[in-house]
Amino acid sequence: MAIPPSVAEFLAGKCLAVAGVSRDSRQAANAIYRKLRAAGYEVLPINPRAPEVEGVRCYPNLQALPDPVDGLVVATPPGTGVALVREAARCGVSRIWFHRSLGSGSVSPAAVRECETLGLRCIVGGCPLMYCEPVDPFHRCLRWLLRWSRRVPS
């Protein structure tokens, strides 16, 4: 299956941040964090309430990151989206991926509008796990279902 251009552009970055990584390793953000690391990306976890997650230092925000990042995966409650988008713009992060599977996920219409206003490229819905090889059977099926329902980029 061809990867949508917006996804290919996002995944072409070498250093990515994941907002919403938790001390609870069962969270979607943690799965995204682990998969991106396993795929060879430099991945920086963001959570203002956790000094460490997955055995590594966690950063409170984008401004605290030691290196510039090529993209930001947002896997937080939707209400944090606008603030993350504004911070990303201030930090020079021009690519944002709002995680969403079957529910509303991290997608906030206001945050998507803020990306448009600030000239940031955003992916609305889906998950990097649906595209990072090797794609597991669950995420392969989820990718098909979400494409069919037009909830991910095509």
Distance (Å, whole) CA 111 – CA 122: 10
Give the pLDDT confidence of 79-129 residue by residue, as tens digits: 999 999 999 999 999 999 999 877 778 899 999 999 999 999 999 988 898
Any domain includes 78? yes
Give the pLDDT confidence of 28-73 residue by residue, as tens digits: 999 999 999 999 999 999 999 999 999 999 999 999 999 999 999 9
For residue 89, the one-letter residue type is A
How many domains would you assign to the chain?
A: 1
Sequence-distant (6+) residues with CB within 8 A of 29 are: 18, 19, 20, 21, 22, 45, 73, 75, 76, 99
Any domain includes 75? yes
Distance (Å, whole) CA 39 – CA 26: 19
- Domain with residue 103: its CATH number is 3.40.50.720
**Residue 130 structure tokens:** 């649906």
Q: Which domain holds residue 69?
A: 5-148
Any domain includes 11? yes
Any domain includes 154? no
